[in-house]
Amino acid sequence: MVLKSICERIIGATCSSKSSVETIDNSQVPASLKVGSGESKYPNTSLWSGFFPSGVLVSETHSEPSPSEKKAVYFGNSGWAAAVWKVVNSGSMRRFQERVLGTGRTEISSSDGDIWLLGVCHNISQQESTANVDTRNEFAAFEQDFSSKILVTYRKGFDAIGDSKYTSDVNWGCMFRSSQMLVAQALLFHKLGRSWRKNIDKPLDKEYIEILQSFGDSEASAFSIHNLLQAGKDYGLAVGSWVGPYAMCRTWEVLARNQRETDNLAEQPLPMAIYVVSGDEDGERGGAPVVCIEDASKRCSDFSRGKLVWTPLLLLVPLVLGLDKINPRYIPLLQSIFKFPQSLGILGGKPGASTYLIGVQGDKALYLDPHEVQQVVNINGESQETSTSSYHSNVIRHIPLDSIDPSLAIGFYCRDKDDFDDFCSRASKLAEESNGAPLFTVAQSWRFLSQTASNNGPGGNLGFQDDDSVDMDVANEAGNNEDDWQLL
């Protein structure tokens, strides 16, 4: 009843009881909010069910749902459903979330250690014996780095998606937005470098504007939610439905391939190959994913239509690191991922609410939150500084690493072959330190991997050296951890 009273106060402050029900366009309400939609049998009931009155039941699943098993909310009263949807679509959405779920913590303390943000260490934990001004300067540098990362959030008021009447992705598009943020950082690193910072005192870079334009909310923008939905149909993507990390990664692979078939090579919106790393050669089963060097080389060759031996490469590694919660043994490995110079962070967050994790401080993950509802913007106009401000945030939120959803995806950007070799070396060393349960492993080829596994026999360790003599030990034990590795 507490939640109901909160909702009523919010609704009363934003709209009249009459208009909140009667002006709702039912076609705009996500399928998960419509009365009587979807299935009603779920193994896990969320904390919401303890708050909502008897007329409302909220259930969710923490693994990637099938097209027929999306995040569902069932309302016993259509007027109440419409009223809640009015809140969701209003400017009170953030206040509503904070009152019910609590705010993401924003305090950062130097006593908690240094911060790693997408491969860059910010030494904010310097001893007091050194000048305090150094610590302040370092923290200011961290804040500028954080606020320069591109934020993509829920939008409302864009052109309808396909044949639907949806003009907003509120309450269902957070994974789309999180993935857009990851790819946006890859484009920033590729075109402007990791050291680039948004400076309000200088004219905006042309490349930066072009990147933001590619994530606009219309079919004309290469990486819009409209085009992602179209590309991901074979993976169950549908308007108004939630999607998991694996399907999202595969969707980006399809979208990039479709654009490569229609656009001039020199003018492609995504000037890099995409490699979705999987657990076996067929690419669809679980087990510790294997970064196969031959596969990566083939992706680069295909991307350049055989003209180049190697090209810039975006690696996406979807993982399932537990059942209801993440297995604690993977936490140190996830912390190390943010130290890779190639790091693009993690698509993850809380169960059922995707965020974009971009940094780590001790046992805390720093993230950008896509759940703020903003009006669609057009950055082609003259007032670009105003319109681009909605793509950044200086609010530093964090959550405990052990509370993130076990279903996630890690991203890496390798500028060239030397950068990829450095990535493989770091990944192999991390796998060696994993006590037989790596996040992923590295192999020269699937054939070599199979031969080595056969020679070593069950339970043996796999190791090899590539042509550049980079030591890449592969532990095959992870593929046998049936309790933790699920079908992706």
If you write DSSP's letter for every residue of 234-282 in order, what string do you get?
Answer: GGT--TT----HHHHHHHHHHHHHHHHHHS-GGG-SS-SEEEE--SSTT
Structure-token pair, residue 210 = 């072009």
What is the chain's Cα-based Rg?
23
Structure-token pair, residue 477 = 């034990």
Q: Of 223, 225, 219, 274, whose CA–CA distance to 250 is shortest?
A: 274
Q: Are 151 and 392 in contact (CB under 8 A)?
A: yes
163 CB neighbour count, 10 Å cutoff: 6
In terms of C-beta density within 10 A (0-12 exposed, 13-18 middle, 19 or more buried), how is residue 126 classed? middle
Structure-token pair, residue 272 = 């890099």
Structure-token pair, residue 425 = 């070396």
DSSP single-letter state for residue 90: S
* CA dist., res. 98 & res. 107, Å (int): 16
Structure-token pair, residue 18 = 């009459």
Helix (H, G, I), strand (E, B) or coil at 212: helix
Catalytic residues: 174, 369, 371
Strand runs (DSSP E) across 444-486, as ranges?
Answer: 461-465, 471-475
Residues near 267 by beta carbon (within 8 Å), at least 6 away in sequence: none
* CA dist., res. 328 & res. 322, Å (int): 9
* CA dist., res. 270 & res. 255, Å (int): 10
Q: Of 65, 64, 51, whose CA–CA distance to 97 is shortest?
A: 51
DSSP single-letter state for residue 397: E
Structure-token pair, residue 85 = 């949807």
* CA dist., res. 28 & res. 411, Å (int): 32
Residue type, 394: N
* CA dist., res. 334 & res. 411, Å (int): 12
